[in-house]
Structure 1
Amino acid sequence: RLTKRFNEPTLGEVFWSLLGRNGFAVQTHEERVQATVEILTHPEKYADYFIMQDLLIEHDENIVMWRYHHILMVERMLGMKKGTGGSEGVGYLMTTLSKKFFPELWEARTHLKVSPLP
């Protein structure tokens, strides 16, 4: 089952594909940011997409919180020793806090002139 899942589209791929099928240009990083800005600046016009992208941002936030709790647990149990599999342990795990599944959704906020709240 896991191999089958790895061969299926990611949540992000499904989201960008949905936007592409509905008229948004989403082939490049810049186009995805621009599509997100369009959705954020017209929430009444794109209500479903607005809600979806907000839920994807929330998903990213929840993953970061999980990672942070995991880091604290690892540090509590192992200190700064090497991690399982020979990784750098806590040092490596700290680098994962800045990784995002949907960077375009985050970057789009930088380009807004007003708050994305309706």
Structure 2
Amino acid sequence: MSAPDRPAPDRSGAARPGAPDRDAPEQAYTDFTRSLSYGDYLQLDTLKSAHRPVTDAHDEHLFIAVHHVSEVWLDLIIRELRAAMDQLALGITDAPLKGLTRVVRAQEQLTNAWEVLKTMTPADYLSFRSAFGQASGFQSASYRMVEFLLGNRHAVLARPHEHRPDLHGPLTDALHGPSVYDLTLRLLDARGLNVPAEVLNRDPSQPPQLNEAVLNAWITVYRQPDTYWDLYELAEKLLDVEDNFRRWRFNHLTTVERTIGFKSGSGGTSGAGYLRRALETVLFPELWEVRTRL
């Protein structure tokens, strides 16, 4: 008896003669003239139409695919960060952990993407590098938004988007708004942990600097986790985010070094040298220093 004709078992496990086999592929929907198919729902034709190599080089396909996928993950990270920040602004500490955990998992996918790109040799890359001119990941508005939301801020980083008000406007708003860490410090102060006014009211467009009073507040949290469990857990989750942020940057650096060495980047930076300096960025300084002071 062929698989499609095999009777489906009843609850006892015995097959009922004449009953259709519910496990057969013929039971799947196949007529989508009046309903959404998988491809329709995901707009796959539109998605794939954006994949347009400008040369015949084999590895340009890989290069574009990795960057397309990375941009999708970055947009998800932005969405989850904003949702978590909205909750933190309302004084909620537990619900944001779910969104931040999702951020961490998405960051892992971003970091793993470099492993695929590392299969491209220097000769492979040079076969199409000149074709995209000054285009560079330095100009990724989504990556820059992630940086701004996490607190790594320099006004010059928004300049490549001045020609696009739809991109530059939101970046400027994020540059001058509170970061996820700023919102966390407001929660510490609301809980009576005495964050100084100069920290709470600082210019958010500047990167954070280690503050002894803030550090002492975190020392209290880390020495009394039972009392401040929600803040303790939030701090550790933020550290997960920064840890993965550093890993992404490190993998970016090593990918660039093994592909083009210390040639200048296509976007005008020094390339590997610029990326190496970026590794020194610290987003949440007190959360790292607290380990030394405990």
Task: Give the alignment's TM-score, normalised by structure 1.
Answer: 0.86
Question: Which stretch of the first structure deviates more once superposed, 40-49 or 28-37?
Answer: 28-37
Residue 25 of structure 1 pairs with residue 194 of structure 2 = yes
What fraction of aligned residue pairs are identical, expressed as a percent? 35
Give 1:16's aligned amino acid.
Answer: L
Say which structure, 1 or 2, has more relative contact order (CA 8 Å, 6+ apart). 1
Give the unaligned 5+ runs of structure 1: 113-118
2:262 is aligned to 80
> Which structure dedicates a bigger proportion of its chain to helix?
1
1:56 is aligned to 238
Give 1:10's aligned amino acid.
Answer: S
2:272 is aligned to 90
Residue 46 of structure 1 pairs with residue 215 of structure 2 = no
1:70 is aligned to 252
C-alpha displacement at 1:84, in angstroms?
3.2
2:290 is aligned to 108
Question: What are the superposed Cα offsets for residues 58-96 of structure 1, whole Å, 9 maximum, x if unpaired?
Answer: 111000000011112222332110123322211221122
Residue 5 of structure 1 pairs with residue 174 of structure 2 = yes
3-state DSSP of counterpart to 1:8: coil
Equivalent pairs, count: 112
3-state DSSP of counterpart to 2:267: helix
C-alpha displacement at 1:32, in angstroms?
0.8
Partners of 2:229 and 2:219 in 1: CA distance? 13
Give 2:264's aligned amino acid.
Answer: K
Give 1:26's aligned amino acid.
Answer: V
Task: Give the alignment's TM-score, normalised by structure 2.
Answer: 0.36
In the TM superposition, structure 1's runs of 4+ consecutive aligned residues that sit over 6 Å from their partners are: none
Give 2:195's aligned amino acid.
Answer: V
Question: What are the superposed Cα offsets for residues 39-67 of structure 1, whole Å, 9 maximum, x if unpaired?
Answer: 00100000000000001111110000000
